[in-house]
Structure 1
């Protein structure tokens, strides 16, 4: 690390103290790992707290975390690699690759138990709708609608349950959409469907495609859909808040389902990774799609992915059915796998137009700011991610440390 990257070491140290005093000392978070990179080098890396509170195991720079929805940008890049090869197009109808979905209808009334009434979609679902969450799909944890309830009953999107990705695709063919594709934004299992399309179009298992085409070229040696042999001692416990404002164990790393290969390979939330591995992925993005002599996607493809693809250029609050801590701000749009700042001042946080980001259910987070040539990665393990405003605080304090 160096202090010559235009960031004040003293001001970055304030971030460490803030996290220690507000979150670690009070047991609001089990641990924190903050990594800031700029101009191709690590400017700040600080780890504190316990990866396993029950066993007193400290968090380390190489601790393995459940990154949940930080899987989504990786899956999105994978399918865009196939778009570049001409094997699939963003405006293709999804039913071209999933014929069972040809006659999907939009919810009008009814329940999973008694049956649904539907109406036809105003237009077919396109591949781009899956990338930008305008497909009409949902997540059961949203707890908003009868369609959400049907997802819970069918265990759709619950990555630690039995079943396969193919099972999910077949079950979704029997359920209605929340809305006609393109009419709204709703956070959903759409990125899991992208993973299925990678498998269908490439002719390879989705997890094998990621391993061959992304993880190996980038040297992401600790990233995968389960914690492999020899890694278990580095795997963090996961926690949830309790009624006292402290934390309680949610997933024990010694008995976790992540210790064995899953039957359901979730491109929407199934990966475990380390901060150093995810930094490699972020460096590739910030470097225009290439790293260490390996080009994954082109600079222009990445420009396309990080543009706001919401209809009419609106921001998320203008067309969202579900907002939460991953992106709950005015001035934020959505691209092909990332949220992106379209009017940074409206977020009421420091940042840049065109920065892009996403987070995971266990409060992990990353952002990339091309204008400042900056990457931020935050790792911890607390579900749900909406518990504390730590992401907002970290971004604010990192930009406050800019010194050039």
Structure 2
């Protein structure tokens, strides 16, 4: 099994475990129940005001789930309520989650943001970057230096979205899970 497949499987397993985690007493996680309730009410208000269609919020601390709540709609037109186990595309919301995870690793001394990405992800070794791009073509070049963790976090790596061959797959994101797996 390749390292990439193993990492993907581990991330999927962790997601399933979190999704199945029961809400605990916030006090056990060292959290103030009143503050957690304010968070739940704020998310509900965002959905009611149309700021977002719906939310799923999970708050954890010290390895314990302190709050787990859903509000709003999974499907507005069908009036299908959001559930804690609803599956949806989080798109760019992975960026702040990833940034926080990296910061935790930095604080633990496990990652340095100035390090080349290939130190942690060997698949990045020999990476090329985009020099110029048109709707039909991309010109690539070797980077002047190795891409760093900081470059990825600040979107300054000169990497881009998929090329023309994958643009159809990338732009047609409104698929069900079974359709996506069937690709």
Q: In structure 1, what is the equivalent of residue 43 of structure 2?
A: 19
Q: Which of these residues, 28, 31, 34, is aligned with residue 10 of structure 1?
A: 34
Partner of 2:157: 135
In the alignment, what sits opposite 1:112? 134
1:198-217 matches, within 5 Å, as: none
Change (3 A) 1:93 1:123: farther
Q: TM-score by structure 1 length?
A: 0.27
Give the CA deviation at 1:35. Answer: 0.9
Conserved? CA contact 1:90–1:126, under 8 Å = no
- Equivalent runs, 1:186-265 vs 2, <5 Å: 251=174, 256=175, 258-260=177-179, 261=181, 263=183
Q: Which runs of 5+ in 1 are unaligned?
A: 78-87, 141-150, 163-249, 264-404
Distance in 1, matches of 2:35 and 2:71, equals 17
Distance 1:156 1:14, change over 3 A: same
- For residues 195-236 of structure 1, the C-alpha deviation after alignment (integer angstroms, 9 at most, x for no partner) is xxxxxxxxxxxxxxxxxxxxxxxxxxxxxxxxxxxxxxxxxx
Contact residue 73 and residue 80 of structure 2 kept, 8 A = yes
- Given candidates 62, 72, 76, the residue that maps to 2:85 is 62
Greater share of residues in helix: 2
Q: Contact conserved, 1:37 with 1:43, CA < 8 A, in 2?
A: yes
Task: State the aligned residue count.
Answer: 139
Q: CA deviation at 1:45?
A: 1.2
Per the alignment, in what secondary structure is the counterpart of residue 26 of structure 2? coil
Aligned: 1:29 with 2:52: yes
State the secondary structure of the residue aligned to 1:11: helix
TM-score (norm 2): 0.52
Alpha-carbon contact 1:92-1:127 (below 8 Å) kept: no
Trace 1:122-161 onto structure 2 (pairs within 5 A).
123=144, 125=146, 133-139=155-161, 154=164, 159-160=169-170
User: Does the Cα contact within 8 Å between 2:130 and 2:160 map onto a contact in 1?
Assistant: no
Structure 2 gaps, min length 5: 1-23, 103-117
Aligned runs of 1:360-375 on 2, under 5 Å?
Answer: none
Distance 1:27 1:50 in 2: 10
The offset of 1:2, in angstroms, is: 0.8
Distance 1:64 1:115 in 2: 34
Q: Residues 17 and 128 from structure 1, CA distance in 2 versus in 1: closer, same or farther, beyond 3 angstroms?
A: closer
Distance between the aligned counterparts of 2:121 and 2:80, measured in 1?
A: 49
Which structure has more RCO (C-alpha within 8 Å, separation ≥ 6)?
1
In the alignment, structure 1 residue 43 sits paired with structure 2 residue 43:
no
SS in 2 for 1:137: coil
Taking only aligned residues, the RMSD between alpha carbons, in angstroms, comes to 4.5
